[in-house]
Amino acid sequence: MQFFFEVLIGGLLSGIMYSLVALGFVLIYKASGVFNFAQGAMVYLAALSVVGCMEKGAPLWLALILAFAVMTLFGIATEKFVLRKLVNQPPIALFMATIGLAFFVEGLAPMVFGSDPRALDLGIVDEPIESILESAGMVISKFDLVAAGVAAVLVTSLALFFQYTRIGRALRAVADDHQAALSIGIPLQHIWAIVWGVAGFVALVAGMLWGARNGVQFALTFTALKALPVLILGGFTSVPGAIVGGLIIGASEKLAEIYIPPVMQSLFGGNFGGIEGWFPYVLALLFLLVRPEGLFGERHIDRV
């Protein structure tokens, strides 16, 4: 039972890491209806630019600021040179454009900052917390707890930003209805630039935590694939959905990895590891059969 809880908590905490990436998707989808496949590449770009700046001798805080500047510039450029030209195109064209964007970034970032895997030290150690290990015998990493804390702060501040600031209100208006927002004088293109900037910031945070955990390398782009089931489970348009979805996916995927392969092995023989790769997708798929718009997504009403 104790082992079960250990796996469960480990899964929940790693789920938070998925949520961080999923958040970036949600922000952009909410405000512009673009399914931004380049979010994983943005995580990679953010982490690389921090490491790159630090290699040039900048201290961590400066590197973070510089990376944030890079991400903001990237967001504005994307809006200006890609999305603005694709206004009124079908969503699939925009989706394809972001896949192209992902390729572009995956080529550009390592060219500028170097492609060899590097470690990123944030000053947080990835080791079990001793007091919990002694009292309950469970291994819970300090790093995971910090990540969870960061995610909580990020989500709270995003929620406050959306709810109470002028820009946040404008963002919600744009998300509700582009035309209506335009007609009351909200500058759509500024708003999109801001959203991409915010998504860049979220990618920076995700890049920091993932980079510190697994090293800054090309595999960071695959975090997007981890975030997709989270996204459809929680709903494309919901910030809390991304968090809850992340928790569910993280926990169930770790539990499945532990408990399903032995069963399969006793049935068929052979080695059935690596369930993590597809289990979240199948879980999300089955879930969608019951609720097609995800947990917190907006119900889609068709009008003829």
Which residues lie near another protein (CB under 8 A)? 35, 82, 85-86, 89-93, 95-97, 99-108, 110-111, 115, 225, 228-229, 231-232, 236, 268, 270-272, 274-275, 277-278, 281-282, 284-285, 288-289, 292-294, 300, 302-304
- Between the CA of residue 263 and those of 53, 248, 269, what are the distances in Å? 48, 22, 9
Least distance from another protein to the Cβ atom of residue 195, Å: 17
Q: In this complex, which beta carbon is closest to another protein, that of residue 141 or of residue 237?
A: 237
- The secondary element (H helix, E strand) that includes residue 40 is helix 39-55
Cα angle at 293 between 288 and 298, to 5 degrees? 165
Least distance from another protein to the Cβ atom of residue 61, Å: 29
Least distance from another protein to the Cβ atom of residue 205, Å: 23
Q: In this complex, which beta carbon is closest to another protein, that of residue 101 or of residue 154?
A: 101
Least distance from another protein to the Cβ atom of residue 38, Å: 9
How is residue 85 annotated by DSSP?
G
- Between the CA of residue 140 and those of 36, 136, 145, 225, what are the distances in Å? 33, 10, 8, 25
Q: What share of the chain is helix, strand, coil (3-state, %, to 5)?
A: 75, 0, 20
Q: In this complex, which beta carbon is closest to another protein, that of residue 122 or of residue 293?
A: 293
Q: In this complex, which beta carbon is closest to another protein, that of residue 104 or of residue 186?
A: 104
Cα angle at 165 between 163 and 168, to 5 degrees? 65
Q: In this complex, which beta carbon is closest to another protein, that of residue 13 or of residue 280?
A: 280
Tokens of 144: 């995971």
Least distance from another protein to the Cβ atom of residue 30, Å: 13
